[in-house]
Amino acid sequence: MACATNAISLSLSSNPNSKLSSDFIPKLNKPVNVSLRASTSAELNPGRLFLSRPIGLSRRNCANATPVMDQSVGERSSSVPTIVEVDLGNRSYPIYIGSGLLDQHELLQKHVHGKKVLVVTNTTIAPLYLDKVVDALTKGNPNVSVENVILPDGEKYKNMETLMKVFDKAIESRLDRRCTFVALGGGVIGDMCGFAAAAFLRGVNFIQIPTTVMAQVDSSVGGKTGINHPLGKNLIGAFYQPQCVLIDTDTLNTLPNRELASGLAEVIKYGLIRDAEFFEWQEKNMEKLMARDPDAFAYAIKRSCENKAEVVSLDEKESGLRATLNLGHTFGHAIETGFGYGEWLHGEAVAAGTVMAVDMSYRLGWIDSSIVKRVTDILQRAKLPTAPPKTMTVEMFKSVMAVDKKVADGLLRLILLKGPLGNCVFTGEYDRKALDDTLSAFCKS
């Protein structure tokens, strides 16, 4: 993509006819299919929206993105999922969102093409949902056999040694190229299972069943898979799309408060980089999200998936536009790597990293102080950190950031806010002093 190493700007102009009331929470009662079709042009452009039924959407003009808003209101039902389509041509797939979806066995079974399934999960999730998933895969379907591999839980296990346990089980079970891997868990499980599926027999089908907010709103969508290396996070992996993503919002009922808050960092991100109205909705409904209001969460997950799906449809392999989804991640990954994988949750590190990216944007004169305050306020309300650990030093940040995936030709490119809320740039063209000043302001020399 011609503009990959240059500044990529995302702008969002609000539609005055689509404002959200302070207590507005859409209730999802009918299947909603959102097809996000990518442009074939080499330039970044909004693409086109195709909706299967009118749902009160108004198209908003953006430089590179057209977020989708469903403002329909009705009685919520657990029997019919909301569907967001990730449009990637012949590799397109649906994201099912709803309550009680693990009880609807047909949703999973229609995406299993062979007779053998391997469920990859961890020691925390297996006792809670493994039996339910096995039942969903086999109910009324006796020709399918299901194996499982239960991995240790935690970011520190997202490595080659743990990944080999998945391959060991797949080979011992004599799985063939028509088998299906199922990722049951949070982002770590989804990333490792997806990478294993991409590599096993040079590629087999896989399904994502995310059970954390982080995975449901971000990591399960878009086909990024991989493992960590001691020198950097997610440096080894592949882009590999699932057959479907099944988000049963009931799994959030067993999610610890800290994990729930961690996932909200990614929800907040979407509003900051490309969806100002969604951010405003979050400001008005954060307490409902923290209280696990089911309608609020159903809407937040759906809106986040719509934003992620469109970006992926336009830029699947992160040539430029997709990199904007990493607001705060360059600083955040440095925290995770420098402080130790698993010491802070991913969303906690991203939250602190977001504050640092916003601080740098302000030092560059690209945003005003009101945005800085709003970002800090909403993260604090979400019980997320707004500064890195005190043990992080400037040199620790710089050494890890030097091997970040967004470095090109020795130049560190960052996602920074620029202009009104809902706008960002992905660029290496910034005053290095602003970066140094931000690092110095947040950590020891």
Q: Which residues are catalytic?
A: 202, 224, 266, 308, 318, 322, 326, 329, 333, 346
Q: Tokens for 42, please give them.
A: 């080499």
**Cα–Cα distance measured from residue 30 to residue 81, given in angstroms and rounded to the nearest whole number:** 7
Beta carbons of 320 and 63 less than 8 angstroms apart: no
Find all residues with CB under 8 Å of 388, minimum gap 6, and list them.
331, 335, 339, 349, 352, 353, 356, 397, 442, 443
Among residues 315, 265, 367, 271, the alpha carbon closest in space to that of 64 is found at 315
**Cα–Cα distance measured from residue 142 to residue 417, given in angstroms and rounded to the nearest whole number:** 53
Q: Are strands 411-412 and 407-408 parallel, antiparallel or unpaired?
A: antiparallel
**Cα–Cα distance measured from residue 221 to residue 271, given in angstroms and rounded to the nearest whole number:** 17
Among residues 315, 144, 97, 120, the alpha carbon closest in space to that of 206 is found at 120
Q: Which residue has the tokens 């700007």?
A: 9
**Cα–Cα distance measured from residue 70 to residue 28, given in angstroms and rounded to the nearest whole number:** 9
- Is the Cα torsion angle 312, 317, 320, 325 positive or negative in sign? positive
